Each structure stands twice: as structure tokens, then as C-alpha cells.
């Protein structure tokens, strides 16, 4: 099973409908079960995932909930944001799981099935990006004080601006949801650069 996308962004003023294509690369029909969850307190030890019983209340419709993809075939899974313009960011995790079918064998058999999770990020009507950072020796403390998630990726420290990339130190990637914070251990005393992913847009931020 191959999914065309595992991260979806719903942004203000953009489309409220997106599709994910599911491809079956096997010789057998693929039976798939789809279970959407709304995520509260994302990125914390208190994170909770609640199965969506009522799409209108949760704000996300995922259809169909079950599907069969023929051998070497493709089917679409549709995601619809039912609450565009919501004042708060909403986070969802949608489990896309193959269902075990019959095993044909003389004695015994084993099927290994791999499922996916689609991360759905619905930005608030007025996204506010406010990522604060503070250096303390060889550590950088980052906190998301805005109202939308920020993906920190391709972080690095280089001895100098013209350093060879092989001489740079590369830092952990992490998504910070509103209120989340992280500590980044640093190898050297130079400035820290991160690419920030906010929705489908990117920028670079540095901390000296």
C-alpha cells in the first residue's frame, strides 16, 4: 500500500477538500479500514486521540471509511474541512490500515501488513506565528507562543558562514504545536539556523 500524501494542510482561504490516493502494489485486493481521530493537547505527554463519531462536531469528514483497492489499482480517500475559519487550530490523525484477508497455504501462512497515519493540520482563521528562542550556553530553548504549529527542520550549526556542509552540525527535526517547547543541545557556540514550515510555506530563522 502506498499513499500519495501523509500530511495535509488546510489553510485560511484555500480549498476545504483534499484527496489522498491509495495505491495497491500487490497482486491481491487490498481491504482498508479508515479511522479518523481528533487530537487534543498535541505534542505533550497529555496528548489524547479521540475517535471521530460525529464529523460535524469534530470538523473533519473522511470518506469512505472502508474501501477495496484492486490489484495494482488506485482509489481516492477524501478529506473535507467542515469548519473553515475556525478561531483555533485543529489537529487530526487518520489511521489508514489494511485488513487481513484469507491466507491460502498448505500448512501455515503469515501476512505482514503496514498501516499509515495521515496527519491533518487545520490552521486557524488568523494564524499567528510566534516562535521564541533563548540561548543558554550550549543549549537553545524554543517555545511556540503563536496559535499555529511550526515544523522545525534542517537545523544546523556551522563554524562559519562559508563552511563546508560536511563541517556543520545538524540538529533534530520537530513539530511544535502552540504551547509546545523544546530544548536543543548544541555542539558549538556558533549561530543556529532552522527552516520553519508554517502550513505550506517556509522561512529561515537564526539564533545567534
Q: Residue 3: beta bridge partners? A: 22
pLDDT value of position 77: 98
pLDDT at residue 106 tops 90: no
pLDDT at position 115, please? Answer: 83
Start-end of CATH 2.60.40.3970 domains in the chain: 131-207
* DSSP-derived pairing of the beta strands 7-10 and 116-122: parallel
Chain mean pLDDT for the chain: 93
pLDDT at residue 102 tops 70:
no
- CATH architecture of the region 2-122: Sandwich (2.60)
Average pLDDT over residues 126-155: 95
A 10 A CB-CB count for 127 gives 16
* pLDDT reading at 109 higher than 60: no
pLDDT at site 101:
58
Whether 133 shows a pLDDT value over 80: the answer reads yes
Task: Provide the pLDDT for residue 100.
Answer: 75
- For residue 103, pLDDT over 50 is answered with no
pLDDT for the residue numbered 161 = 84
Q: How far apart are CA 182 and CA 180, in angstroms?
A: 7
CA 113 to chain centre: 21
| Residue 34 in grid coordinates | 479508515
Say if domain 131-207 classifies as CATH 3.40.50.1820: no
Backbone angles phi, psi at 58, to 5 degrees: -75, -30
Percent of the chain clearing pLDDT 90 (strictly above): 86
The model carries a pTM of 0.89
Number of neighbouring beta carbons within 10 Å of residue 86: 16
- pLDDT of the residue at 105: 46
- Chain position carrying cell 483497492: 69
Q: Which three cell numbers stand for residue 173?
A: 527535526
Residue-wise pLDDT tens digits, 143-184: 999 999 999 999 999 998 889 999 999 999 999 999 999 999
Give start-end residues of each CATH 2.60.40.10 domain in the chain.
2-122
What's residue 111's pLDDT?
A: 58
pLDDT tens by residue, 2-15: 999 999 999 999 99
Amino acid at each position: 500500500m502506498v499513499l500519495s500524501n501523509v500530511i495535509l494542510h488546510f489553510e485560511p482561504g484555500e480549498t476545504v477538500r483534499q484527496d489522498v490516493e491509495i495505491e495497491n502494489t500487490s497482486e491481491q485486493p487490498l481491504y482498508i479500514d479508515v479511522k479518523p481521530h481528533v487530537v487534543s493537547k498535541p505534542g505533550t505527554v497529555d496528548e489524547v486521540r479521540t475517535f471521530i463519531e460525529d464529523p460535524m462536531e469534530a470538523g473533519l469528514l473522511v470518506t469512505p471509511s472502508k474501501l477495496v483497492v484492486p490489484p495494482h489499482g488506485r482509489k481516492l480517500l477524501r478529506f473535507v474541512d467542515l469548519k473553515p475559519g475556525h478561531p483555533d487550530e485543529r489537529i487530526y490523525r487518520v489511521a489508514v490500515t489494511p485488513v487481513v484477508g484469507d491466507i491460502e497455504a498448505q500448512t501455515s501462512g503469515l501476512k505482514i501488513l503496514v498501516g499509515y497515519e495521515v496527519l491533518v493540520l487545520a490552521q486557524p482563521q488568523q494564524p499567528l506565528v510566534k516562535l521564541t528562542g533563548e540561548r543558554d550556553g550550549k543549549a537553545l530553548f524554543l517555545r511556540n507562543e503563536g496559535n499555529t504549529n511550526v515544523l522545525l527542520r534542517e537545523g544546523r550549526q556551522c563554524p562559519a558562514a562559508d563552511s563546508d556542509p560536511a563541517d556543520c552540525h545538524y540538529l533534530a527535526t520537530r513539530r511544535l504545536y502552540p504551547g509546545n517547547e523544546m530544548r536543543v543541545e548544541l555542539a558549538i557556540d556558533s549561530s543556529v539556523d532552522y527552516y520553519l514550515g508554517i502550513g505550506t510555506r517556509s522561512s529561515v530563522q537564526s539564533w545567534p
